[in-house]
Amino acid sequence: RKEVEQDPGPFNVPEGATVAFNCTYSNSASQSFFWYRQDCRKEPKLLMSVYSSGNEDGRFTAQLNRASQYISLLIRDSKLSDSATYLCVAPDRGSTLGRLYFGRGTQLTVWP
């Protein structure tokens, strides 16, 4: 079983829609999580961090459910520029060297 599992999508939504991605993780000891955004042929870039039950930044909301071991990312009022692949990331709590586990990514396309 992979450390982090994501629905690969693709998700195709119209502008203005609300879309949610889920991610499950296997290490129950993990305390912090991250969502990265990766544009086509570009490097991953940090989008949001999640340390407690959730985090909100403008149109983006990340939530953490420790009991069920999943993280979600909600995007409201989708923009064309939100089209990208979204990576769910969990630290390896068994590692003392900052190792991160990356999901394979969920692809989002927002159409006009």
User: What number of residues does the chain have?
Assistant: 112
Binds other proteins (CB under 8 A): choice among 84, 87, 108, 110: 87
28 binds other proteins (CB under 8 A): no
17 CB neighbour count, 10 Å cutoff: 15
Binding mask 51-80 for other proteins (x = CB under 8 A): x-----------------------------
Contacts of 69 (CB under 8 A, 6+ apart): 24, 25, 26, 28
Distance CA 11, CA 15 (A): 12
Q: Where does this chain touch other proteins (CB under 8 A) — which range of 16-24, 41-49, 57-65, 70-78?
A: 41-49
Q: Count residues contacting other proteins (CB under 8 A)? A: 22
Question: Do the beta carbons of residue 21 and residue 10 sit within 8 Å?
Answer: no
94 binds other proteins (CB under 8 A): no
Q: Which is nearer to other proteins, 11 or 105 (CB)?
A: 105
Candidates 42, 37, 38, 27; CA nearest to 93 is 27
Binds other proteins (CB under 8 A): choice among 1, 28, 40, 43: 43
